[in-house]
Structure 1
């Protein structure tokens, strides 16, 4: 009886050790994947407007190529201060040309119309550090 009791105790101890190891492992997984207090207190600050916000307006904006042809004409609108804006339209509508003209990157022609920054005529190059322009590049798969 004593030997049987000893074996049972050893088996329980072994099972208990395995159970304790399993419990410790489960707790480490829970700690790893559960949000911590720091995560719960974290506040995303990536899209907060800067204190130096700009309003950009454009009136009758266009692009005339060096050969005299016009590829963009009569574009009027505004990007309000502190707002995230998107330019959308079908392929070939002139979205990229529009942004290149607005940002002063259309060196292959001359801009027509006017750009107003905070309701005053301005040069976009002076404000590049306050603005962002993320062009869409198509991915070509073979």
Structure 2
């Protein structure tokens, strides 16, 4: 990593103003929010306003629609799977990239004081990283295991 990017933190590169979908909201509601917000993933928050997971458009289509689940009766919490990966707002961009590469994820929630404050996506990284670093990141995230 170049020295300029190593000084940056997750907070510096994250997208602020992230909206959550409730864990008890329907899959249809999540899909509508994604459409309205023009995003491919939403963080899932519980009634305590804490991060519970992430649901992607792919989760809804491949894991739910293709299996014939009722989009109005199935909750986001029922469909979301996998472990929750996140970073602290003060961690370095390098640490955030390592987590994304290690877990082969394209979106990473950013937490501060146990609350969601932002999300790092490929688009955010594309704005902040030099081309060679971005290319290396994309190669590692999309590499097959």
What TM-score, normalized to structure 2? 0.31
- Which is richer in helix? 2
Question: Which one has the largest radius of gyration?
Answer: 1
What TM-score, normalized to structure 1? 0.32
Higher relative contact order (CA 8 A, sep 6+): 2
